[in-house]
């Protein structure tokens, strides 16, 4: 992965000064791909004043209605959060670990940051494939948004600025749109054989989406996996057309 593969996504940003400072933090480290999800109205002058000479990053920033659409073309989505626990993702990394992880896989990838006051909501983090946290003193672990972005931008710059170009002909991983389609196909095949007789399909679909994203499946691998589950479904359904009862 190279620096131009990395997208920074701000969910529901509300402070124009912070947004301008984020633009400056990105440009300091050779990054310029910024996306805003449902931002509050921004005072243009204040954004530019805090961006200083990074106004071009602000000018190229894209605005989206949802995190799903903002990250749709990314092969991996990493959500940043200081809160950790059973419902906040099973895999979490420090900024250094996240940058090292991205260095060794093809892109594109997104780093997602929450609102300045509330951070990422549970539903937003659920759309991410991995979590990342900045180690900080437990007495005051919450960082300013632009400061957090600066830490990640620095680690990415040191990890990726000298990264070699991807080999020619190498397949790019599936993006989130295609991964979601693959997950839907796999779960539909499982449903057709009576697998989802009890609650849990939503959690399992989230599990599939996360591991497929982390595996960096290319289009050929995605089709192969989809075909395996489709063939399983065809073989499991008897001529009567009704799936057999699951064994206990």
For position 62, which CATH number holds? 3.40.1280.10
- Which tokens hold the place of 74? 């990314």
Question: What digits encode the pLDDT tens for the residues 52-64?
Answer: 999 999 999 999 9
Same domain, 155 and 216: no
17 or 85: which carries more pLDDT confidence?
A: 17
**Mean of pLDDT values over 21-25:** 98
Same domain, yes or no, for 43 and 102? yes
Query: Has residue 165 been placed in a domain?
Result: no
Question: pLDDT tier at 84 (50, 70, 90 boundaries)?
Answer: low
- Is 168 contained in some domain? no
Which pLDDT belongs to residue 236?
81
Q: How confident is the model at residue 200 (pLDDT cuts 50, 70, 90)?
A: confident
Closest residue by Cα to residue 107 from 73, 61, 80: 73
Q: Where are the alpha helices (DSSP H) in 63-108?
A: 67-70, 95-103
| In a shared domain, residues 143 and 212 | no
Q: Does any domain span residue 94? A: yes
| pTM, 2 dp | 0.86
CA distances from 21 to 60, 149, 178, 219, 244 (A): 15, 9, 34, 38, 59
**Distance, CA of 207 to CA of 126 (rounded, Å):** 10
Per-residue pLDDT, 248: 40
In the chain, the number of structural domains is 2
For 143, other C-beta atoms within 10 Å of its C-beta total: 15
- Based on the domain organization, do 144 and 193 belong to the same domain? no
Confidence of residue 166 (pLDDT cuts 50, 70, 90): low
Residue 94: domain span: 3-160
């Amino acid at each position: 992965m190279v620096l131009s593969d990395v997208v920074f996504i701000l969910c529901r940003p509300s402070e124009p000064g912070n947004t301008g400072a984020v633009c400056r933090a990105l440009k300091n480290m050779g990054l310029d791909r910024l996306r805003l999800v449902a931002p509050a109205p921004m005072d243009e002058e204040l954004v530019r004043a805090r961006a200083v000479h990074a106004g071009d990053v602000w000018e190229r920033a894209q605005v989206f209605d949802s995190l799903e659409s903002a990250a749709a073309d990314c092969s991996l989505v990493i959500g940043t959060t200081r809160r950790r626990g059973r419902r906040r993702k099973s895999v979490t990394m420090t900024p250094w670990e996240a940058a090292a992880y991205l260095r060794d896989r093809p892109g594109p990838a997104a780093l997602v940051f929450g609102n300045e006051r509330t951070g990422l909501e549970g539903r937003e983090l659920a759309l991410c494939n991995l979590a990342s946290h900045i180690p900080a003193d437990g007495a005051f672990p919450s960082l300013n948004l632009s400061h957090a972005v600066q830490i990640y931008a620095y680690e990415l710059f040191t990890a990726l600025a000298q990264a070699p170009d991807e080999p020619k002909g190498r397949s790019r991983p599936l993006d989130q749109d295609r991964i979601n389609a693959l997950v839907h196909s796999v779960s539909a095949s499982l449903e057709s054989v009576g697998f989802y007789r009890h609650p849990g399909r939503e959690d399992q679909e989230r599990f599939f989406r996360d591991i497929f994203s982390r595996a960096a499946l290319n289009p050929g691998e995605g089709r192969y996996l989809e075909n395996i589950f489709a063939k399983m479904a065809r073989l499991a359904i008897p001529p009567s057309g009704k799936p057999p009862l699951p064994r206990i």
